Structure 1
Amino acid sequence: MARILFIEPFFAGSHKQLLDTLISGIDFEEFGYELLTLPGKKWHWRARTSALYFAEVIPRKHVYEVLFASSVLNMAELIALRPDLMPCRKILYFHENQLIYPVRKQQERDFQYGYNQIISCMVADNIFFNTLFNLTSFLDSIPSFFKLQPDHRPKNLPEMIRPKCKVLYFPISIQNSPISSEVRKTDDTAGLHIVWPHRWEHDKGPDKFFMVIDALIEKGCKFRLSILGEQFQQIPLVFDEKKLQYEASNNCQVLDWGWVNRDRYVDLLSSAHVVVSTSEHEFYGVSMIEATILGCFPLCPWRLSYPEIFPEKCLYRTENQLVKQLKYFCKNPNASRNLSVNLDQFKWISLKSQYEEALLLKKEVNQCSAH
């Protein structure tokens, strides 16, 4: 019987990618595992109600020792509904935190999502965050978050939660494309290839990015452009507007615009020169790290999780600095190839043992059994 139970209420994107990496990269033959998921859509409803769903579908007879879930799950609700799971080692993984997740207006912030994550932390035994930025921003924001509560506010929550917290970087397992050096040389001759590979939502800063691209065109720079990333029902209008504008431009050659399959994604990143972020929100940055590992030179804002991950040469403080750097690369595409960035510490091969230890695969644990 399975000794490790993985639960993911939002099985898509990086949430799915993490579990796929763990399950394919660790030998669970001795321990056994079970994976319970819900489709990666309707995020708000997953956060509100998934605990009740999982309480109903988790087997009543089990020998689980470890319960691993993302912070989308209200773990406190699950344990209250299924007290037989209480003796398990309860591990909570934060891809993001709802205390500082950006919203257009403060009054739109739903108190419940952040509250769910806080009470889940109270129940969890181990809490892992994908970056120190994610960890510190969560703990530091708890007191101000509860100021939204009119009275009888809880006290000392950060002090109670902090000892259980640790940074465990998200593991990157992307494989390089078999693109030859000759193809790269051809791409270098064809001009700078800029990639923007992010979710098509306002918090990823598409308006700022397109302002930068407009500035390059106004300065007479010639380059190639790929706008990649996941799209949802409500796509900012600027994407359609800019696609038409750039396709009509003599300076900007649009290569890809929208979602592409994984093989095409890897090929693009393996041949491109520069990958750019203009995000107003980032707790980690999987796409930026993947692109860098595949050979792109990253240009990231000097904020959020980026200073923790990327060296100073990759960071810009203003959009004007970003324009200047891209203008230089437009004139010297090969220059980006000579600026190597080592992100080996974020690869799966470097993090595997840490995840094995986190899942208690290297030590004896007490069984959480129900019969």
Structure 2
Amino acid sequence: MASVRGVFVEPFYGGSHKAFLDGLTAHSSHEIHLLSLPDGEWRRRMRRGAQELAAAARALPGQFDFLIVSDMLDLPAFLALTRPRFERVPVMAYFHENQMTYPRLKGTKFNSWFGQINYLSALAADVVAFNSQFHREDFAGALRSLVSQPNNWLLEDGVAQVEAKSTVLSVGVELDWLAQFESPRRKSGPRTILWNHRWEFDKSPELFARALRAIKGRGVPFRLVVAGEPGENPSEAIIGLESEFATDIAHFGFAPSKAEYGRLLWQSDIVVSTTRHEFFGVGMVEAMAAGCVPCAPRRYNYPALVPSGLHSRVLWDDEGDLEEKLESLLTDPLPERTALQEAARRFAWDRVAPDWDHAIERLARGEFARVQDGPAD
């Protein structure tokens, strides 16, 4: 099919959302016009993004074959405010995350406003694409659970429609840049543990800190690299590691450049995740591509990232299992790194872009819009 022309609407153009869109526009064979707002307070972006972007959308020149929006956009409001601009344009809603199952701070309640935005956007779209099969099933499960509760705001038929038009499109991850920073790992001395996640509550930094203390208490030596963005509310559990493990720290703090981050990945041996959610796992893919061995929960999307033959060695079930798995990775021979690197390469843009181009072509032809009696493939 010849190149088609479309718009991608992203009210939160920052972090992993920005990295994904930059990669998609760079690697797709189709013409994609980006309509976006810079990253900011995410609640404000979800509440106001459709209003703030509507005028710019109406002013876009020419005709479009497709429209893609991220989960941060209130799609029904956007379509209403831009009518009739996209009246006959097929629409995809792409979900990086969702507000149905995103972890909440202890003591806070589920805010149905944002859940409704996600549900109604999925209902209004012609196709709903998720960044992983885990995410697709997780979202559907949340809808089915909510529809059974009293005073809910869903229709059973609406939930069935969303499930029927759901599909999976992996995010692409830029990996080629890592090769220029490759360097031999240390062959002697303690192995290096890497934390390359945000320092906030949803990543369970307290659990990570407890595991380090337990390992240290057993007399197992290690070096520690703490990177990742502190975020808006960095946890004291991470901040305190700098002094508590002062003699073990090889690096502490957000990597000041892409080059420094790349060098840290190649210098590390084991990348640990203690998160309370993971819809995909870009940071884990980057670390694995550089040869880091994962130590992550046996849930969320991690089983899909790690080769199945290594699940029993590197994926943990609870806190005690985390400590045992981490100690084993620090003291026993490590799994073959090349298998992990190849597993990560599955998500490189050169492999993912053709899937996106094919999906965009199908969307532009209106094929997804006709899939109403069964799941999209």
Matches within 5 A, 1:6-21: 6-21=8-23
CA distances 1:153-181 after superposition (whole Å, capped 9, x unpaired)? 52322211112110111112222233455
- Hey, what does 2:28 align to over in structure 1? 26
In percent, how many aligned pairs have the same letter? Answer: 27
Aligned residues of 2:211 and 2:319 also touching (Cα < 8 A): yes
Determine the structure 2 residue equivalent to 1:98: 99
Measure the CA separation in 1 of the matches of 2:32 and 2:359: 15
Give the direction of change, closer, same or farther, for the CA distance of 1:23–1:316 in structure 2 (3 Å limit).
Answer: same
Q: Distance in 1 between matches of 2:171 and 2:195?
A: 21
Following superposition, the deviation at residue 107 of structure 1 comes to 4.9
Aligned twin of 1:322: 322
TM-score norm. by structure 1 comes to 0.88
Query: Is 2:111 the partner of 1:110?
Result: yes
Instruction: Measure, in 1, the Cα distance between the counterparts of 2:320 and 2:152.
Output: 46
Supply the AA of the counterpart residue of 1:289: V
Provide the C-alpha distance between the structure 1 equivalents of 2:255 and 2:163, rounded to a whole number of angstroms: 39
- State the alpha-carbon separation in 2 of the partners of residues 152 and 44 from structure 1: 20
**Structure 2 stretches lacking a partner, 5+ long:** 368-377
1:3 aligns with 2:2: no
Change (3 A) 1:103 1:348: same
CA distance in 2, matches of 1:338, 1:66: 41
1:22-68, Cα deviation, whole Å (9 max, x unpaired):
1111234xxx3321111111100100110011111114443011111
Alignment match, 1:221: 220
Residue 373 of structure 2: aligned partner: none
| Offset, 1:296 | 0.5
Q: Please say if residues 130 and 284 of structure 1, whose CA atoms lie closer than 8 Å, have aligned partners that are also in contact.
A: yes
Structural mapping, 1:1-371, within 5 Å: 3-28=5-30, 32-60=31-59, 61-84=61-84, 85-105=86-106, 107-146=108-147, 150=151, 154-175=155-176, 176-179=178-181, 183-184=184-185, 187-247=186-246, 249=247, 252-310=248-306, 311=308, 312=311, 313-332=313-332, 335-336=334-335, 340-341=339-340, 342-343=342-343, 344-360=345-361
Shift of the 168–305 alpha-carbon distance from structure 1 to 2, 3 Å rule, reads: same
In 2, Cα distance between the equivalents of 1:353 and 1:339? 24
The answer to whether the Cα contact below 8 Å between 1:92 and 1:126 also exists between their aligned partners in 2 is yes
| Closer/same/farther in 2, CA of residues 49 and 362 from structure 1, 3 Å limit | closer
CA distance in 1, matches of 2:218, 2:199: 26
**Aligned with 1:73: secondary structure?**
coil
SS of the equivalent of 1:177 reads helix
Equivalent-residue separation in structure 2 for 1:14 and 1:48 (angstroms): 20
* Residue identity in the other structure for 2:50: A
Q: CA deviation at 1:93?
A: 0.7
Deviations 1:93-116 (A, max 9, x none): 100111111113475321011100
Deviations 1:203-257 (A, max 9, x none): 111111111110111111111111111122322222222221111x4xx234233
Q: Distance in 2 between matches of 1:152 and 1:348?
A: 38
Write the distance in 2 (CA, Å) between the matches of 1:234 and 1:357.
40
SS at match of 1:87: coil
Could you tell me how far apart the structure 2 residues matched to 1:154 and 1:362 are? 26
> CA 1:149–1:48 in 2, change beyond 3 Å: closer, same or farther?
farther
Contact 1:177 1:270 in 2 (8 A): no
In structure 1, what is the Cα distance between the partners aligned to 2:213 and 2:323? Answer: 10
Q: Structure 1 stretches of 5 or more lacking a match?
A: 367-371
CA deviations on 1:287-338 (whole Å, 9 max, x unpaired) are: 0111111111111111111123223133111222332233233335x62555
Structure 2 length normalisation: TM-score?
Answer: 0.87
One-letter amino acid of the structure 2 residue matched with residue 222 of structure 1: P
Q: In the superposition, relative to structure 1, how do residues 101 and 284 fare at CA in structure 2: closer, same or farther (>3 Å)?
A: same
- Distance change >3 Å, CA 326–CA 154, structure 1 → 2: closer
| 1:369 corresponding residue in structure 2 | none
The amino acid across from 1:216 in the alignment is I
Q: Distance in 2 between matches of 1:15 and 1:151?
A: 30
Deviates more, 1:45-54 or 1:153-162: 153-162
